[in-house]
Structure 1
Amino acid sequence: MSSPDELPVLRTLEELTGLVERRGSMYVRWSRGPAADLESLSSTDDLTGVPLPGLSANSLDVEPWWDNRPVRVWVARRLYDYAHLPRDKGPGVHPWALRGQESGRGPDNEPLVQDIEPVGWIDARVIEEAAEEVARQEGGWGPLRREGR
């Protein structure tokens, strides 16, 4: 049996966008990978240490209010918003795409996901493409990040 970490690599923003357009219940998780995550199937609240009922992830699914705007921009923003996590969480943290079912919300209102199906690693180049796509937009925003006190 192969390891859950033996996944295809999604190498372009276009490839990931295509998956989001074709499949539902798509998420991105920033962690050390499915093998480590699937052992516990639970995230932990960093502040309190409380175990959460699922893995914290960020939805890649397009919201209805987005209308017919480019899915590529939506996906780019979802990746860009959390691109700081590998720096904050330490070595070995990488983004990977998955399918799953939302089981609740975490303390930062992030989806908690169960019934995980790993889909693929997200290559660093995809994150670079996402940043480039964000830079091309007229409005400005930065990644979601809280500074410690």
Structure 2
Amino acid sequence: MFTVHDLAELAELTSLGVAPYLRYSPGPESDARHPSRDHESGLLMPGLSVNPLPAPGWWSLPLEDWLARRVCQYLRELREGARPWLLNGRQVDFGPDNEPLVVDITPVAWVSPALLDQAQRHYHQRLNAGESTH
């Protein structure tokens, strides 16, 4: 797999539909051995849990703002040994956090540490990162 190094490149891949999902895990080889597991119930789910990248219809800010937010959503997974990567696949259901579960996975690219740093800076500069909805 190649590596994506900045938000502009990620936006292009997302806009073209090449990489509509982001996943934090050990990687495609590890994930190919088993689907995701719901940690609270212990049940295996019918696909891999992923983070969708395309912005919803109501989003009127630049796509890069949305993508920075999505990339930063699961950064805590890095501490557990996960590595972010982009993929394509067929959605078959939803997980316990209403995240898509996908099968027929096609790995697309790794997300570089430079992109993670850029996304964090962008997220905190452009949006009210961590602002409560209440």
**TM superposition score normalised by structure 1:** 0.82
In structure 1, the partner of 2:11 is 17
In structure 1, the partner of 2:129 is 140
Q: Percent of counterpart pairs with the same letter?
A: 35
Tell me, yes or no, if structure 1 residue 49 matches structure 2 residue 38: no
- Offset, 1:84: 1.2
- Offset, 1:12: 1.4
Matched pairs, number: 131
Q: 1:68-107 alignment to 2 at 5 Å?
A: 69-87=61-79, 90-91=80-81, 93-107=82-96
What's the C-alpha RMSD, in Å, of the aligned pairs?
1.5
The residue type paired with residue 10 of structure 2 is L
Structure 2's unaligned 5+ residue stretches are none
Structure 1's unaligned 5+ residue stretches are 1-6, 143-149
Output the CA distance in 2 between the equivalents of 1:18 and 1:25. Answer: 9
Contact 2:93 2:102 in 1 (8 A): yes
SS of structure 2 residue aligned to 1:66: coil
Stretches of 4+ moved more than 4 A in 1? none
Contact 1:62 1:74 in 2 (8 A): yes
- Offset, 1:138: 4.8
Output the CA distance in 1 between the equivalents of 2:85 and 2:129. Answer: 26
In structure 2, the partner of 1:61 is 54
Output the CA distance in 2 between the equivalents of 1:138 and 1:36. Answer: 34
Contact 1:86 1:94 in 2 (8 A): yes
